[in-house]
Structure 1
């Protein structure tokens, strides 16, 4: 009987009802005085409470897939990294620090001081993680964030070099702490860089909602929070103003888990002039209203149109296909989005390219996402173009002075886009 099966859910509910019935039936017999009767009453109460709590926990887990199997619940899980598979039309083929800038401001630790495994040492050797607040010039939103800067960012030979950007987005209601502490994004980036499996990249870690506690799903809500505008205009503007990052869309990608994965796909497919790659770990492929979102699209024909346009499979069938690369991750067992994931991947067509991470079993939980995050980040690094432009030279190197030799890109950084998508 599987941990997420309906039969287990029904069995635990039935057991709870039986225990309640038995408690009512035997209680008069346990109403006598004496230690045996007292122990009997305590035992009946304990068993009844235990079965009720168990039935509730099983029902919640069945609904949200926190644990996909008994092995995951007991900690017996496969921790080997997942594998990325490229897809074609016919199927499978081959530290907190001070930040200067009006729109990015330094923040307190925001929990970063409790995260283990962050870069520790000279920034030019191990990189740095900064705790910041990102100010939306258009939306007036203030979003907390962490920014990972690779060691090369601080090295002399790259002092004028721009870097690609990976925007990583947490799930809802999780915050940026989940990205650093549980998904281990900066720790993974540091390890991949050391293994020469990832090009130096600035990683911006944010949450999906800009108006907590409302789940905005990265949507511009009519008369409400303008989340899509924040992620496609405000955030890129703030990061470009503050850090040495690429200005071309080919240098920008979005990656997230759960609601953050949904956002990543939506942002890239709806705004290919901002993000040209997206990776989704256990995300959805369309957005619907619920108790946490409220009305995201409004009513009437205009609301229906906005809802359709946030259905990614519908977009692939009815609208021009964007020139972006996407990765979708799911599990054959334990994840409810597997069928939708395959439907989405099968709908992808040129010029869009796709890849997948499909585990035999998993769940909507960090145990699964930790297996997927390293290959997903490595895949995305291969999609992002390392910027060839450099920052303006200091005054002494401007016309009339000695020319400054541009810093070259790292030897392992791609100089062209991934196959199937021309370099912009």
Structure 2
């Protein structure tokens, strides 16, 4: 029984309603003094509060797709399947197809398509689920040999890749922007910023653990390029065909990958991004005493101490409602040539879907002007 299905929510609502009815019936019998009656009233109030919070939590999880399973909620990672011959021979395995949800729908030549895939990392030795949006132009007659610029899109953590389709509407926004002639068609590769189901690896190669940076920085572009008609990652030694963007933790990953892997990504977009990794119960020990890697993972430190490639960055924040305003301003100050930086600063906007929905269209336009051009 999935956490995001309607069944747990319906059960919670039913149990809450029955408990509330029971409280109304039994409350008069618990009136008066005496420790048993007082304890009974306190117990019923606590039970109602617990059930109410559980119901609200299930509603929030269904809305924002934070956790996909009970194991994820409990913080237990599901180990990736071991790499095998099938995975090695087929770096991207298509598991299914679904409609893009564009207005009016239609065949792939009109609406595009979303493929649910499993991406195998050759060097990182992990299999990671993702969704690939292929625009209508990918299937249209005359474009059989045409290659398309590609953008990797990352969720926050916790969060599910489905958020990018259902909650933030990336495919529909990309489709609409092309129809409005504001962007050129591009492929979107949508996934979480982690290589494990419940561990927040934050695009870092953990000593003795998941090689998340290797997967996102090297394996993912190579696997997708071997499967789909993507614009080459680089030409003449400079990246030009690929970008990476994300929100919150995904925004941190996007900026980290663009900064530290300019050979793979020509542009990086951080929507409400963090600028250094969070080390907590969800991440576990990311560095195991490796101070050099810990410093490198601080993006503000990296801008000061590491070479900056020919990469473009877009960062977003709000003067009211975002906690990353000052770090974003510091990031902008520290970017030096040949790298370039642009920014969006809203008057107000919290760390939430409503803010990111406002920022995604101009961010996609910005990306379209920076990748895949000859």
TM-score (norm 1): 0.66
Residue 126 of structure 1 corresponds to which residue in structure 2? 111
Judge conservation of contact 1:116–1:181 (CA < 8 Å) in 2: no
Q: What are the Cα deviations for residues 73-107 of structure 1, in whole angstroms up to 9, with x where unaligned?
A: xxxxxxxxxxxxxxxxxxxxxxxxxxxx7111111
Could you tell me how far apart the structure 1 residues matched to 2:151 and 2:104 are?
Answer: 18
CA positional deviation for 1:375: 0.9
Residue 228 of structure 1 corresponds to which residue in structure 2? 213
CA positional deviation for 1:277: 0.2
Residue 273 of structure 2 corresponds to which residue in structure 1? 283
- Is 1:378 the equivalent of 2:368? no
Aligned residue among 126, 136, 147 for 1:151: 136
CA positional deviation for 1:140: 2.0
Could you tell me how far apart the structure 1 residues matched to 2:213 and 2:330 are?
Answer: 25
CA positional deviation for 1:119: 7.8
| SS class of match (1:333) | coil
Residue 363 of structure 1 corresponds to which residue in structure 2? 350
Residue 184 of structure 1 corresponds to which residue in structure 2? 169
CA positional deviation for 1:163: 0.9
For residues 201-212 of structure 1, the aligned pairs below 5 Å read: 201-212=186-197
CA positional deviation for 1:237: 1.2
Could you tell me how far apart the structure 2 residues matched to 1:156 and 1:116 are?
Answer: 22
Structure 2 CA distance for partners of 1:330 and 1:119, relative to 1, 3 Å? farther
CA positional deviation for 1:288: 3.8
Could you tell me how far apart the structure 1 residues matched to 2:32 and 2:175 are?
Answer: 65
C-alpha RMSD of the superposition: 2.9
CA positional deviation for 1:309: 0.8
Residue 330 of structure 1 corresponds to which residue in structure 2? 317
CA positional deviation for 1:326: 0.4
CA positional deviation for 1:211: 1.5
Judge conservation of contact 2:308–2:339 (CA < 8 Å) in 1: yes
For residues 77-96 of structure 1, the aligned pairs below 5 Å read: none
Could you tell me how far apart the structure 2 residues matched to 1:252 and 1:309 are?
Answer: 23
Residue 32 of structure 2 corresponds to which residue in structure 1? 31
Could you tell me how far apart the structure 1 residues matched to 2:261 and 2:164 are?
Answer: 24
Residue 142 of structure 1 corresponds to which residue in structure 2? 127
- Is 1:250 the equivalent of 2:237? no
Could you tell me how far apart the structure 1 residues matched to 2:161 and 2:243 are?
Answer: 18
CA positional deviation for 1:258: 1.0
Q: What are the Cα deviations for residues 164-189 of structure 1, in whole angstroms up to 9, with x where unaligned?
A: 11000111121210110101110100
Could you tell me how far apart the structure 1 residues matched to 2:254 and 2:169 are?
Answer: 18
Judge conservation of contact 1:119–1:127 (CA < 8 Å) in 2: no
Residue 161 of structure 1 corresponds to which residue in structure 2? 146
| SS class of match (2:240) | helix
Give the number of equivalent residue pairs.
305
| Structure having greater relative contact order (Cα 8 Å, sep ≥ 6) | 1
CA positional deviation for 1:346: 1.5
- Is 1:315 the equivalent of 2:302? yes
Could you tell me how far apart the structure 2 residues matched to 1:153 and 1:45 are?
Answer: 59
For residues 261-300 of structure 1, the aligned pairs below 5 Å read: 261-299=251-289
Could you tell me how far apart the structure 2 residues matched to 1:48 and 1:200 are?
Answer: 53
Judge conservation of contact 1:118–1:129 (CA < 8 Å) in 2: no
Unaligned runs of 5+ in 1: 1-28, 58-65, 67-100, 387-414, 416-424
Structure 2 CA distance for partners of 1:243 and 1:43, relative to 1, 3 Å? same
Q: What are the Cα deviations for residues 279-304 of structure 1, in whole angstroms up to 9, with x where unaligned?
A: 011111112421111111121xxx11
Structure 2 CA distance for partners of 1:118 and 1:305, relative to 1, 3 Å? farther
- Is 1:194 the equivalent of 2:169? no
| SS class of match (2:347) | strand
Judge conservation of contact 1:254–1:275 (CA < 8 Å) in 2: yes
Residue 71 of structure 1 corresponds to which residue in structure 2? none
Residue 90 of structure 1 corresponds to which residue in structure 2? none
CA positional deviation for 1:125: 2.0
Residue 337 of structure 2 corresponds to which residue in structure 1? 350
Bigger radius of gyration, 1 or 2?
1
- Structure 1 residue runs of 4 or more that deviate by more than 2 Å after TM superposition: 41-51, 115-120
CA positional deviation for 1:312: 1.4
Judge conservation of contact 1:325–1:353 (CA < 8 Å) in 2: yes
Residue 86 of structure 2 corresponds to which residue in structure 1? none
Structure 2 CA distance for partners of 1:377 and 1:48, relative to 1, 3 Å? same
Residue 102 of structure 1 corresponds to which residue in structure 2? 90
